[in-house]
Structure 1
Amino acid sequence: SRRPDYTLLLEPKQDALAAVIRSARHRLPSLLPDFFNATLGASDFCGSLVESIRRARVDQIELHEGFPVPDARRRPVTATLRRLSRLHNPFSDSALLQFERIHQAFDPLVRRLIHAHRRAMRRLSHADLAARAASFFACGVAVTIQAPFARAEAQLGAAARGAFALDRDFDTMGSMVRRLGDEIEHTRNVIKLFTDDGDDDMGEGLMLKEVARELQMSGCEFMNKLAELEEHVSSCFLNINRTRRMVMQEIV
C-alpha cells in the first residue's frame, strides 16, 4: 500500500510558507529557504521511520504468534521461522543511509546558520553604535538603522537553534535505529541456528525450547525499544513544527 504523506502534518504548510516568503516586505536571509526545505525533508523521513516502526512491530507480533509451544512439531515451526527470517529488515543499512543523508543536509546547514547568525549579531552591534550616534540628531533614524539588522539576527538565530536541535534529534534516533537493526539481525541468526539444525529428534526439542526462550527474552525488550523510538519520532515531528513556527514568527 502507498505510504501516507506525513509532510501534510507540517505547520506552517509548505505552500503557505512559500507565499509568505514571496510576499515578505523585507529581504530575507538566503539561508531561510534552505532551512525550511531541510525541515520538509526531515518530516518526510520521520514519516518513513513511522512506517518502519509499524512494519517491525507487525513482524515481531507475527513471529511470536506464529511460534508454537516448545513441544509442537518441528516442520510447521521451521516453515514459519524461515518465512519470517526472510522478511526485509526495516532498520537495515538503507535506513541508516537515509540518516546519513539527513545528517549531511543538517550538519553543514547548522554550521552555515551559526556563522550567518554570528555575522548578523556583529552587524547589529555595529548598527547599535551607529544608532546611538544618530539618536543625537533624530530618534526615527536610529530605529531605521537598527531594524533590518535586528530582523536578520532574530530570524537566523531562530533557524540556527532549530536546526541544531533537529540535528541532535536525528543523531539520537540514528543510534536507536542502528541498535534495533542489529537486534533484528541477531534474531535472524538465532532462527538460522534452529532451521539449519539437523533432524536429530533428541536434540530437536531442546533446540526449539532454546530458540523459544531466546525469542521470548529479546521480544519484550525489542518492543519496548520500538516504543521508545516511536516517542522520539513523535517528539521530532513536534520539534520540526515548533522550529518552523519560531522562524515564521520572526518573518511575519
Structure 2
Amino acid sequence: MLHCFSFNPASPELSIGDDPLPHSSIEGVASSSIPSPTFNLSRELAYAFQTDSYREIRSRVDPTQHQLHIQPQPDNIELLLSQVLQPNKECVQEALSHAKPTTPTHLVSTYFQHSEDATRLCLNLYQSVHSARLLYTPLFDFFHILPGDSHAIDETLCNLAFDVFLKLDTFENPFSSPESDTFGETRLCFSQLKYKLDSRLRKSRSRVRLLHHATAGPLCSPYLPHSFKKKELTNISQLNVAARGTYVLDKDLDTIDRLVSRLQTGIEFDKHFIRLGLEKGRDVYSIQEIVKQLRKSHLNLTHQLKDLEDHICLWFTNVNEARSLLLQEIHLPQVSLR
C-alpha cells in the first residue's frame, strides 16, 4: 500500500514582490551555507542529528534490524530505496500526472529523478560502510588481544597477525567500486539542474513583472488574464523550492564525496602496509612495525566510517524533506482547482 503525503490547501496568492521560500530545516541549511558571524557548523550538525526526522531514518536503517545489510544487488537496492525514500516514486508520478507537460514541470520531474538516483548511490555507499567494517573486523579483534605495547608482540601473536593480514589482503577496497565513480556525474547533474532552474526562475519572475506593469493600464487588462499571472507565480513557487533543494542536496553530496575520498585513501594506505608485511614474511620486527602503524590509523578510520554513515543518514533526512516540500507545492494549485 502506497503512503503518499497529503496536504491542506494553504498560502494565499503571492504578490508581485514575493519570493516563495520553503519553511523548513532545508531552508535553514541552505541559508546557513552562506557564512555568517553567527553560523556554527558543528552546532548545526548536532542539531540536525537530534531531529525527529533524523532519528526516524536511523531507526529504519538501524544495523540491528538488518535492513541495510543485504548485498547491494539491484533488486535489493530498489527494495531498500522504497523503504527509505519518501515521498516515493509512485507518489511523485501520481502528482506529476495531473500537471501540464511544461518546461517547469519537466525541471521539477528531473529534480525528483536526480534526488532518487543520488539516494540510490547513497544506499550503495551505506552498504560500503558495512562492508568496510566487516573487512576490518579480524584486525580490530586482533587489536583487542594485543598488549598495550606493540613492541611486545611475541611469535604467537606475530603468526596470528600474519594470518589476519592474509585475510585482509583478499578484500577489495569497498570504496573503490564502480558506484563511487558516479559521484562526479551525479554532482554534475545537480549543477546543471540548478543552472536550468535559476534560468527558468528568472524568466518567470520577468514575466510576472511585465504582467504587473501591463495590467496597471486599464486598456491592457482584458488581454492579460489573471490566470496567466497566477500560473507564473505557481511556477516561481515550485521552481524556487526545487532550486533551494538542489543547492542543499548538492552541498550534502559534496560532504559525502569528500568523506568517501578520505576513506578510500585511508583503506588503500592500510592495504599498502599489509602487503609490505606479507612481503616480509613472518618476521617479528616487521610485523611489529606494521601493527603499530595500523593501530594508529584504525581509530581514525572508525571515526571516518561513523562520520560517513551519519552524513548518509542526514542525506536521507534532507532528501525526504526536500521532496516533500516540493510535492506540497505541486499539490497546492491542484487542491485549489478542486
Above 0.5 in TM-score?
yes
Residue 171 of structure 1 aligns with an amino acid whose one-letter code is: D
Aligned to 1:40: 116
**Cα distance change, pair 60–131 in 1 and its aligned pair in 2 (3 A):** farther
State the TM-score, normalizing by the size of structure 1: 0.88
Deviation at 1:134, TM superposition (A): 5.4
* Alignment counterpart, residue 197 of structure 2, candidates 113, 116, 122: 113
Tell me the equivalent position of 1:12: 87
Aligned length: 246
More displaced, 69-78 or 152-161?
69-78
Match of 1:49 in 2: 125
Q: Equivalent residue of 2:119, what SS?
A: helix
Mean Cα displacement is larger for which, 104-113 or 18-27? Answer: 18-27
Unaligned runs of 5+ in 2: 1-69, 147-152, 332-338
Aligned-residue offset at 1:182: 0.5
State the match for 2:48 in structure 1. none
CA gap of 1:111–1:6, structure 2 versus 1, over 3 A, is farther
TM-score when normalising by structure 2: 0.67
Q: Which residue of 2 aligns with 1:156?
A: 239
CA RMSD of aligned residues (A): 2.4
- Among 45, 58, 74, the alignment partner of 2:134 is 58
Identity of aligned residues (%): 24
Higher helix share: 1
Matched-pair contact (CA < 8 Å) for 1:91–1:181:
yes
Distance (Å, rounded) in 1 between the aligned partners of 2:204 and 2:220: 25
Moved more, 238-247 or 59-68: 59-68
Please state if 1:186 is matched with 2:269: yes
Work out the CA distance in 2 between the residues paired with 1:106 and 1:126. 30
Unaligned 5+ residue runs, structure 1?
Answer: none
More deviation, 11-20/22-31: 22-31
Q: Among 62, 67, 81, which residue is 2:165 paired with?
A: 81
Corresponding position: 1:196 with 2:279: yes
Over 3 Å counting, the alpha-carbon distance change for 1:135 and 1:168 in structure 2 is: farther
2:326 aligns with 247
Show CA shifts across 1:67-113 (max 9, x none). Answer: 66422434443232122122011111634312122123212111111
